[in-house]
Amino acid sequence: MDLTRIQNLSLSYMSSFALRCAVDLDISGRIQAYGRPMPLNELARSIPIPPHKDSMLGRLMTLLVNQGIFVQSEAGYQLTPASELLQTEGSNVGAITRVATDAELIKLWGRLSEFFKESDERSLFEKVFDGKKFWEFMKKKPEYGKLLDDAMASMSNSFMRGFIASYPHIFDGLNNLVDVGGGTGTAVKFIAEAFPRLRCTVFDLPHVVAKALKSESFDVVGGDMFEKIPPADAIFLKNVLHDWNDEDCVRILKRCKEAIESNNNGGKVIVVDIVIGFESNDPKAIETSLFFDISMMGFFGSRERNKQEWHDVIITAGYSDYKICPVQLGVYSVVELYP
């Protein structure tokens, strides 16, 4: 029924905040630690919550079961693959939920209609946060910076295993790689460990790399990708270009081209980002891409790009050719750019 559809969409944030509550109460950790189906009263005592709220917790669990986060049998609650991911060692995917439902950051979305009517060029983020751009805000407020870095690191953690398994030959013939906008080094750590002959560097803003993982297996360089990128055979750009409008993307891609050309070893740029229309056949993938597209619009005034939009920025930046690789990983495509 149409009314049900409107009611459902109007209340969809209940899904987000129920998940947020499960993350904060570490419900999947408690079920995992219990080691067998966990009854409600055991779950309630392990948190612990006052007994008069047990039935309320039961109702929260009913919603999460309906959403496929847990399963419920006569004997109690168990994990599903989604809540197992929340529990995978080191993956910390709850960080994604935390940043996405953050009380301060969600202020943006209540002001979207106001934003549409304004004639200036500011992003929704700048409008809501006193003219501060997203990356300035993250620099000035380290607690938010950490929230974001953790969320990005957790996505890399879940993504990189599949990437390396799907593309074991992607770095063949290359001697060194720079992960531009590589955050705290999660992706580069996977690459360096899987390809020990490849000399890897994580490159990001100085205050971000200051928090990078310390490792023997890769180098750390702070700087500004709009100024100069360290020379390399391969440049890796994961979840970076969607943060920037077309003009800025072209600038970044030109700096990348200079960085590989100065090395003169037939290098390439490897972009990992959404290509709208190329998502894997996960039934939620297209909707997830569209959620990210609106997120990028609000945070940065940028976008997720379709095939034609990628073509345009790549060719405008002066690349001679590119290819969208055959395997999609969730919403992400791998695109190779050749100078």
Ligand X SMILES: C/C=C/c1ccc(O)c(OC)c1
Ligand Y SMILES: C[S@@+](CC[C@H](N)C(=O)[O-])C[C@H]1O[C@@H](n2cnc3c(N)ncnc32)[C@H](O)[C@@H]1O
Residues that bind ligand X (CB under 6 A): 99-100, 239, 242-243, 295, 299
Q: Which span (55-63, 220-228, 255-263, 301-309) binds ligand Y, by CB under 6 A?
A: 220-228
The residue within the footprint of ligand Y, chosen from 91, 123, 239, 328 (CB under 6 A), is 239
From ligand X, ligand Y, none, interface partner of 224 (C-beta below 5 to 8 A by class) = ligand Y
Span of 77-85, 112-120, 238-246, 293-301 interacting with ligand Y by CB under 6 A: 238-246
CB 236 within 8 A of CB 270: yes
Residue 148 Cβ vs ligand X, minimum distance, rounded to whole Å: 6
Q: Please tell me whether residue 185 binds ligand Y under the rule CB under 6 A.
A: no
Q: 299 touches which of ligand Y, ligand X, none (CB within 5 to 8 A by kind)?
A: ligand X
Query: CA–CA separation, 144 vs 153, rounded Å?
Result: 14
| Under rule CB under 6 A, residue 238 binds ligand Y | yes
Residue choice 93, 192, 240, 259 for contact with ligand Y (CB under 6 A): 240
Note the helical H segments in 176-284: 186-194, 206-209, 246-261
Cα Dmax for the chain: 69
Q: Concatenated DSSP letters for 142-157?
A: HHHHHHHHHHHHHHHH
How far apart, in Å, do the first and last CA atoms of the chain sit? 53
What is residue 178's three-state secondary structure?
strand
Phi, psi of 137 (to 5 degrees): -60, -45
Catalytic, out of 169, 207, 242, 311: 242
202 makes contact with ligand Y (CB under 6 A): no
Cα separations in angstroms, 44 against 27, 55, 147? 10, 9, 28
Contact call for residue 303 and ligand Y (CB under 6 A): no
For residues 122 to 161, the per-residue mask of contacts with ligand Y, x marking binding by CB under 6 A and - elsewhere, is -------------x----------------x--xx-----
Task: Decide if residue 76 touches ligand Y (CB under 6 A).
Answer: no
**How many Cα atoms sit within 13 Å of 69 on the Cβ side?**
23
Contact at 8 Å (CB) between 245 and 309? no
Q: Could you identify the residue written with the tokens 């705290």?
A: 184
Rounded to a whole number of angstroms, the minimum distance from the CB of residue 165 to ligand X is 21
- Partner whose footprint covers residue 135, from ligand Y, ligand X, none (CB < 5 to 8 Å by kind): ligand Y
Alpha helices in the chain (DSSP H): 2-10, 13-24, 27-34, 40-46, 54-66, 81-87, 94-100, 112-117, 124-128, 134-140, 142-166, 186-194, 206-209, 246-261, 285-300, 307-316
Q: Which is nearer to ligand Y, 174 or 191 (CB)?
A: 191
Considering beta carbons, is residue 137 or 319 the nearer one to ligand X? 137
Among 126, 204, 293, 304, binds ligand Y (CB under 6 A): 204
Q: Does 205 bind ligand Y (CB under 6 A)?
A: yes
Nearer to ligand X among residue 18 and residue 57 (C-beta): 18
Instruction: Assess whether 169 carries a catalytic annotation.
Output: no
* Spatial contact of 186 and 153, defined as CB atoms under 8 Å apart: yes
Nearest-angstrom CA–CA distance, 28 and 51: 20
Residues that bind ligand Y (CB under 6 A): 135, 152, 155-156, 181-183, 187, 204-205, 208, 224-226, 238-240, 243
Residues tagged active-site: 242
